[in-house]
A and B are shown apart, each in its own frame.
Chain A
Amino acid sequence: MLIDAQDLTKSFATGDGMLPVLSGVSLTLAAGETLALTGESGSGKSTLLHLLAALDAPDSGSIRLAETEITGLGDRDRAAIRREKIGLVFQQFNLIPSLNTAANIAFQARLAGRHDPDWCATLARRLGLADMLDRYPEQLSGGQQQRVAIGRALAPRPAVLLADEPTGNLDEATADDVLALVLDLVAETGAGLLMVTHSTRLATRLSRQLRLSKGRVA
Chain B
Amino acid sequence: MRRTALAALVSHWRRQKLQLFALLAGLALATALWSAVQAINAEARRSYAAAAGTLGLGSYETLVDPAGPIPVESFAALRRAGWPVTPLVEGRAEIAGRRIQVIGLEFLSAPRRNLPDTLAADTLSPAEIFLPPGIGFAAPATLRALAGQPGLPRLFADPALPPDRLFTDIAVADRLLEAGSGIDRLLLLPGAPDGLPDAVVPGLRRQPAESQGDLTRLTASFHLNLTAFGFLSFAVGLFIVHGTIGLAFEQRRGMFRSLRALGLPLRTLLALLLAEILALATIAGGLGIALGYLIAGALLPDVAATLRGLYGASLPGTLAFDPAWAASGLGIALAGSLVAAAHGLDTVRRMPLLASARPRAWAIVSGRQLRRQAAAGGALLAAGALAPILADGLLAGFALLGGLLLGAALLLPLLLSAVLALGAAHARRPLAQWFWADTRQQLPGLSLALMALLLALATNIGVSTMVSSFRQTFVGWLDQRLVSELYVTAPSEAEAERLRAWLAPRAEAVLPIWKVDLPLMGAPGELYGIVDNPVYREHWPLLAATDAPWEALYAGRAALVNEQLARRNGLHPGDPVSLGAGWQLPVAAIYSDYGNPAGQAIVALPTLLEHHPEVPKLRHGILTDDPQALSRALTEEFGLPPANVTENGRLKAVSLEVFDRTFTVTAALNILTLSVAGFAILTALLTLSSMRLPQLAPLWALGLTRRRLARLEILRALALAALTFAAALPVGLALAWCLLAVVNVEAFGWRLPMTLFPDQWLRLLLLALLAALVAAALPVRRLARTEPSQFLKVFADER
Q: How many whole Å from B792's CB to the nearest CB in chain A?
A: 15
When distances are taken between beta carbons in the complex, the residues of chain B under 8 Å from A6 are none
User: In the complex, which of the residues B11, B268, B357 contacts A103, with contact meaning CB atoms closer than 8 Å?
Assistant: B11
Report whether A98 and B8 are in contact in the complex, using a CB–CB cutoff of 8 Å.
yes
A34 at the interface (CB under 8 A from B): no
Cα of A95 to Cα of B11 in the assembled complex, Å = 13
A94 at the interface (CB under 8 A from B): yes
A82 at the interface (CB under 8 A from B): yes
Report whether A76 and B267 are in contact in the complex, using a CB–CB cutoff of 8 Å.
yes
A75, A86, A152, most chain B CB atoms within 10 A: A75
Cα of A33 to Cα of B265 in the assembled complex, Å = 29
**8 Å CB contacts to A: which residues of B251-308?**
254-255, 257-268
A99 at the interface (CB under 8 A from B): yes
When distances are taken between beta carbons in the complex, the residues of chain B under 8 Å from A90 are 261
B615 at the interface (CB under 8 A from A): no
Report whether A79 and B260 are in contact in the complex, using a CB–CB cutoff of 8 Å.
yes
Report if A111-B798 is in contact (Cβ < 8 Å); known contacts: A55-B353, A136-B15.
no
Report whether B263 and A79 are in contact in the complex, using a CB–CB cutoff of 8 Å.
yes
Q: How many whole Å from A36's CB to the nearest CB in chain B?
A: 22
Report whether A98 and B14 are in contact in the complex, using a CB–CB cutoff of 8 Å.
yes
User: In the complex, which of the residues B8, B264, B268 contacts A99, with contact meaning CB atoms closer than 8 Å?
Assistant: B8
Q: How many whole Å from B185's CB to the nearest CB in chain A?
A: 73
Report whether B254 and A97 are in contact in the complex, using a CB–CB cutoff of 8 Å.
yes
User: In the complex, which of the residues A55, A97, A112 contacts B261, with contact meaning CB atoms closer than 8 Å?
Assistant: A55
Cα of A163 to Cα of B754 in the assembled complex, Å = 72
Contact pattern, A 88-118, Cβ under 8 Å of B = 1, otherwise 0: 1010101111110001000110111100000
Q: How many whole Å from B351's CB to the nearest CB in chain A?
A: 13
User: In the complex, which of the residues B5, B262, B797 contacts A82, with contact meaning CB atoms closer than 8 Å?
Assistant: B262
**8 Å CB contacts to A: which residues of B5-34?**
5, 8, 11-12, 14-16
Q: Considering the complex, give the chain B residue whose CB is closest to the CB of A87.
A: B262
Q: How many whole Å from B791's CB to the nearest CB in chain A?
A: 16
User: In the complex, which of the residues A75, A94, A136, A141 contacts B258, with contact meaning CB atoms closer than 8 Å?
Assistant: A94
Q: How many whole Å from B557's CB to the nearest CB in chain A?
A: 85
When distances are taken between beta carbons in the complex, the residues of chain B under 8 Å from A157 are none
A56 at the interface (CB under 8 A from B): yes
Q: How many whole Å from B381's CB to the nearest CB in chain A?
A: 37
A84 at the interface (CB under 8 A from B): yes
Report whether A75 and B265 are in contact in the complex, using a CB–CB cutoff of 8 Å.
yes
Q: Considering the complex, give the chain B residue whose CB is closest to the CB of A112.
A: B263
Q: Considering the complex, give the chain B residue whose CB is closest to the CB of A77.
A: B265
When distances are taken between beta carbons in the complex, the residues of chain A under 8 Å from B12 are 98
B127 at the interface (CB under 8 A from A): no
Report whether A111 and B5 are in contact in the complex, using a CB–CB cutoff of 8 Å.
yes
Report whether A94 and B257 are in contact in the complex, using a CB–CB cutoff of 8 Å.
yes
How many residues belonging to A are interface residues under a CB distance threshold of 8 Å? 33
Report whether A97 and B15 are in contact in the complex, using a CB–CB cutoff of 8 Å.
yes
Cα of A146 to Cα of B762 in the assembled complex, Å = 58
Report if A107-B4 is in contact (Cβ < 8 Å); known contacts: A112-B263, A142-B798.
yes
Q: Considering the complex, give the chain A residue whose CB is closest to the CB of B255.
A: A96
Q: Considering the complex, give the chain B residue whose CB is closest to the CB of A115.
A: B4
A53, A79, A90, most chain B CB atoms within 10 A: A79
When distances are taken between beta carbons in the complex, the residues of chain A under 8 Å from B255 are 96-98
Q: Considering the complex, give the chain B residue whose CB is closest to the CB of A171.
A: B797
Report whether A88 and B261 are in contact in the complex, using a CB–CB cutoff of 8 Å.
yes
When distances are taken between beta carbons in the complex, the residues of chain B under 8 Å from A92 are 357
**8 Å CB contacts to B: which residues of A23-46?**
none
A180 at the interface (CB under 8 A from B): no
When distances are taken between beta carbons in the complex, the residues of chain B under 8 Å from A55 are 261, 353-354
**8 Å CB contacts to B: which residues of A119-165?**
136, 141-142, 152
Report whether A76 and B265 are in contact in the complex, using a CB–CB cutoff of 8 Å.
yes
Cα of A98 to Cα of B20 in the assembled complex, Å = 14
B390 at the interface (CB under 8 A from A): no
Q: How many whole Å from B243's CB to the nearest CB in chain A?
A: 20
A96, A107, A113, A136, most chain B CB atoms within 10 A: A96
B702 at the interface (CB under 8 A from A): no
Q: Considering the complex, give the chain B residue whose CB is closest to the CB of A153.
A: B262
Q: Considering the complex, give the chain B residue whose CB is closest to the CB of A86.
A: B263
A50 at the interface (CB under 8 A from B): yes
**8 Å CB contacts to A: which residues of B338-375?**
353-354, 357
Report whether B11 and A112 are in contact in the complex, using a CB–CB cutoff of 8 Å.
no
Q: Considering the complex, give the chain A residue whose CB is closest to the CB of B3.
A: A110
When distances are taken between beta carbons in the complex, the residues of chain B under 8 Å from A98 are 8, 11-12, 14-16, 255
When distances are taken between beta carbons in the complex, the residues of chain A under 8 Å from B254 are 94, 97
Q: Considering the complex, give the chain B residue whose CB is closest to the CB of A169.
A: B797
Report whether B353 and A56 are in contact in the complex, using a CB–CB cutoff of 8 Å.
yes
Q: Considering the complex, give the chain B residue whose CB is closest to the CB of A109.
A: B4
Report whether B267 and A75 are in contact in the complex, using a CB–CB cutoff of 8 Å.
yes
Beyond the given pairs A88-B262, A94-B257, A136-B15, 15 more chain A to chain B contacts, judged by CB atoms under 8 angstroms and listed by A's residue number, are A55-B354, A76-B265, A79-B260, A82-B261, A83-B264, A94-B254, A97-B15, A97-B254, A98-B14, A98-B15, A98-B255, A99-B8, A99-B11, A103-B11, A142-B797
Query: 9 A-B Cβ contacts within 8 A?
Result: A53-B261, A79-B260, A94-B357, A98-B8, A107-B4, A111-B4, A111-B262, A141-B798, A152-B262
